[in-house]
Structure 1
Amino acid sequence: MKKLSFLITAALLSSSLALTQAPAYASWPSSVDGQTMPSLAPMLEKATPAVVSISVKGTQKVQQNVPDAFKFFFGNRNQGQPQERPFRGLGSGVIIDSDSGYIVTNNHVINNADEILITLKDGRQLEATKLGADEESDIALLQVDAENLAEIKISDSDSLRVGDFTVAIGSPFGLGQTVTSGIVSALGRSNLNIENYEDFIQTDAAINSGNSGGALVNLRGELIGINTAILGPNGGNVGIGFAIPSNMMHNLVKQIIEFGEVRRGVLGVSGRSVDSGIAKAMELETNQGAFIEMVAADSAADEAGLKAGDVIVKINGKSIRSFSELRGKIGSIGAGKKVKLTVIRDGDDETFTVKLKQSQGTNVAAASIHRMLEGAKLKNSSDNKGIVIEEVAPQSPAQLAGLRNGDIITGVNRTRTKNIIQLREFLKDKKGVVALNIIRDEQAQYLMIR
């Protein structure tokens, strides 16, 4: 505190000296020699209202270990027993759709939270609802109900180049909204063991604790990434920060909005990144790309005609540098989507169109909506008039409840339900018998679940 006071006093003293020694100006000049002074202020005036502060409350289970000295009295009955403890947390978020009130943040910011409070730049505080999250990529989608929200435009992160200017916006250490600047230091960073699916933008814009979930923008104020992590021995900024690319985030969020979950696409190959050793052994003319060691039978890659020994160098016309980058980009593209892969085979470039299959590890969104919907795969109807039952697993709770393939859920207890998000909200904390309004074979009927 003494050091801080000294710095403030010194600053005041230097300001006083400056005022006595320098001529007084009514304001700083906006131009010098006819040239406008560069400033990020106009861009930030439009971008910063779309970045919010997030505070959370909740409980989490922690392992309770009994010291050896007390085991004589308590035995092992408390040893290893988890206990719930309250926690609070701070982070940031980005409004990507003002009409719907959608806010993107990191999953680790709101994980296990019972209360999520959003603070806008204008000072308004709003309670947020969690619509869905993807732990493996650390993305979460929230929703607030408010008017006059600002939203940020999403840029194409695949067009980024190393050296492009970046601006990070967030709320570090709970200080309130803070802006820092830097450049894109690297692209396609992976193998950091931060998340399961990694394809990070690296930046030297200062990112600290509390910036998680905030915006990384370009000089046009467009969103290029969601700030996620830093590399620092003591948790402080050392000029190495990482952000989830906006394209990856956008792909995942669209799936959460449509299905209530991430339905991760799978290619069905294993391999490694091309390096000089592989390039020499396989007589390749490139030192970058994803070398395929094995293609799983009946996988998307197998059905498209990919083979072991192929080197994937582009996804939808965009170059990739490593197998990890391939995995990260494919993992954010939804199941059932088609992608074009450019492959080097026997020295020639070939293009394959692959329809991605669904990861077996994907959680069924229906189970998280209501226990009697477990085993059903849901999707929003194309006309936004209900929820289509795509598939019902045999002997699942959904089948035992009477649901069939092709059923369309249009309401709950006579309340109109247009999409999965509304269905989740209506069934939240519902107890007892619930009446689902169903259209089956073009006939309306009720289905009771409990």
Structure 2
Amino acid sequence: MALGTYKVFEKNPAEGMTFEDRQKVYFASNKNTSNVVSSAGDVDFTQAAAAVTPAVVYIRTTYSAQQGRSSGRDPIEEMFGDMFGQRMQPQQSQPQRASGSGVIISTDGYIVTNNHVVANASKVEVTTNDHRVLQAKVIGTDPNTDLALIKVSATNLPIVKLGNSDDVRVGEWVLAVGNPFNLNSTVTAGIVSAKGRNIGIIGSEDNDDQQSSPFGSRSRYQQQPAAPRLNKAIESFIQTDAAINPGNSGGALVNTKGELIGINSAIASHTGSYEGYGFAVPVNLAKKVLNDLEKFGSVKRGYIGVSFQELNSDVAQTLKINTTNGLYVNELVAGGGAEAAGLQKGDIITKVEGNKVYESSDLQERVGRLQPGDKIHLTVLRAGAEKNFTITLKGEPAATNRTAANSKTAEELYNKLGASFQPLTQAQKSKFRLNSGVVVTQVRRGGFFENYDIPEGTIITGINGQAINSTNDIDKAITNLKNGQMVIEGYSADGMRFRNSFDVR
């Protein structure tokens, strides 16, 4: 009886741990899975390929015909065509399908992939390397880095060991593992061609002053900068010449030790197929994003609070300054961390944490790993002399009402909601005088929450007559339908009670 009682109240040892910490525990307990030796000397990739391939999955997504993804498509898809998702030709009344890859990073079913692989999907299906087909739910997405976290209900899954992308060196051998052209578990080899690439494919639709092309070129200088605003897109890609093709998106870029150093995201191509240039999100940036998505359902990102532009000889001549390296501060965001720390318009950011800054990605990736409230050290050039500043990052201003997304499984219904959730804090419970509930932390395009104008910050207290206090409660409640109707109850951010009913047939 004592042992049984202990098991009932025993906490999951992984609860509260980051994915990296969980992996350290896993590999410490399974030493035979972590002793892959670097094969760069013999140019033999068999050990690394064998270690990684079992944990790279094939992802198929379905989009209802009503969603019409051909309009309002992901900007990356707009610029690169349909190469990422291998979309079948859309039919008037048939659901549309797409596919891509993903990487298992936790033995209990968490998988990292690209945002554009699963964005707006009503159904996400994962096929493992041993041919199991599992339904997945979208835990959260981050369009600003093109990353997403999904989860399947399974245990003891193989995982790819998280590496350190800061240690990656130009010229070292790497492997790309994914599912190009629906060819499952394909491994290609190449080298790291460059680091910190900013190719202009994320967020350029938000800035009319920046011009984008399908090949990543972008104007980096604005003659008359507009009012400053937070730069949300983070691009600091690892560039590789390992063959990456349609379907590889969301797959693994690993070093010769079999460690994950990047998530394959884009290619530069005139044809939509491999032409020698592939780009991956560095894993050190992905770690922060994925941990936030699991813990909060959205990314808690800190901002310096400056509008800047990269310097080169042309920009320096226009601004009548002598230096051609660094980031020129155009404006300061009112109330931002930079303004509070004493930065000024016309300062030139030359170093971040003691490392020289040549491109915007040198700064953005470093900041992208931090939370609001964290501190970052910058060196700026002012009046010919360098000055050091310690800046406390500020969070994004409060989100406003966003209007931006017949299955029977819990995963499919969860994805149709198009939202991410976090349990209420004790302070929130006290404020609204509630004993239970979850708060909406993210609303994705095309889902019920967007269609019914349920914004971030909304509190959900009940679904289909069942009290909600966690995402597990949501899983149980959403399948308890009556006549195909899902009833959601809760409170808006201003305290107004609501009750909405959706037809999910």
- The TM-score normalised by the length of structure 2 is 0.62
SS in 2 for 1:193: coil
Going from structure 1 to structure 2, the CA distance change for 1:352 and 1:62 (only over 3 Å counts) comes to closer
1:58 equivalent among 60, 63, 69: 63
Residues 25-424 of structure 1 aligned to structure 2 (within 5 Å): 38-59=43-64, 60-61=67-68, 85-99=94-108, 101-196=109-204, 197=233, 198-277=235-314, 281-284=320-323, 287-327=324-364, 329-331=366-368, 333-346=370-383, 347-359=385-397, 417=469, 421-422=471-472
> What's the counterpart of residue 9 of structure 1?
none
CA separation in 1, counterparts of 2:133 and 2:117?
17
CA separation in 1, counterparts of 2:181 and 2:456?
49
Q: Is the 8 Å Cα contact of residues 145 and 202 (structure 2) preserved in structure 1?
A: no
- Rg comparison, structure with higher value: 1
CA separation in 1, counterparts of 2:297 and 2:253?
26
Structure showing greater relative contact order (alpha-carbon pairs closer than 8 Å, 6 or more residues apart): 2
CA displacement at 1:245 relative to structure 2 = 1.2
CA separation in 2, counterparts of 1:236 and 1:216?
18
Going from structure 1 to structure 2, the CA distance change for 1:188 and 1:119 (only over 3 Å counts) comes to same
CA separation in 1, counterparts of 2:103 and 2:242?
17
SS in 1 for 2:289: helix
Q: Is the 8 Å Cα contact of residues 136 and 150 (structure 2) preserved in structure 1?
A: yes
Q: Deviations over 1:211-252 (max 9, x none)?
A: 000001111111111101111111111110111111222222
Q: Which amino acid aligns with 2:395?
A: K
Question: Greater strand share, 1 or 2?
Answer: 1
SS in 2 for 1:266: coil
Which ranges of structure 1 fall in alignment gaps of 5 or more residues? 1-35, 65-81, 437-446
CA displacement at 1:435 relative to structure 2 = 8.6
Going from structure 1 to structure 2, the CA distance change for 1:303 and 1:91 (only over 3 Å counts) comes to same
> What's the counterpart of residue 77 of structure 2?
none
CA separation in 1, counterparts of 2:238 and 2:489?
46
CA displacement at 1:51 relative to structure 2 = 0.9
CA displacement at 1:62 relative to structure 2 = 6.1
Going from structure 1 to structure 2, the CA distance change for 1:134 and 1:426 (only over 3 Å counts) comes to farther
Q: Which amino acid aligns with 1:238?
A: E
Corresponding residue pairs, total: 368
Going from structure 1 to structure 2, the CA distance change for 1:427 and 1:338 (only over 3 Å counts) comes to farther
SS in 2 for 1:97: coil
CA separation in 1, counterparts of 2:421 and 2:51?
40
Q: Is the 8 Å Cα contact of residues 337 and 391 (structure 2) preserved in structure 1?
A: no
SS in 1 for 2:244: coil
> What's the counterpart of residue 72 of structure 1?
none
Going from structure 1 to structure 2, the CA distance change for 1:319 and 1:144 (only over 3 Å counts) comes to farther
Q: Is the 8 Å Cα contact of residues 352 and 378 (structure 2) preserved in structure 1?
A: yes
Going from structure 1 to structure 2, the CA distance change for 1:182 and 1:296 (only over 3 Å counts) comes to same
Q: Is the 8 Å Cα contact of residues 133 and 261 (structure 1) preserved in structure 2?
A: yes
CA displacement at 1:91 relative to structure 2 = 0.7
Q: Is the 8 Å Cα contact of residues 303 and 393 (structure 2) preserved in structure 1?
A: no
CA RMSD of aligned residues (A): 4.2
Q: Which amino acid aligns with 1:61?
A: G
Going from structure 1 to structure 2, the CA distance change for 1:433 and 1:352 (only over 3 Å counts) comes to closer
Which ranges of structure 2 fall in alignment gaps of 5 or more residues? 1-40, 72-90, 205-232, 406-412, 427-434, 442-452, 492-496, 501-505
Going from structure 1 to structure 2, the CA distance change for 1:426 and 1:336 (only over 3 Å counts) comes to farther
CA separation in 2, counterparts of 1:289 and 1:400?
38
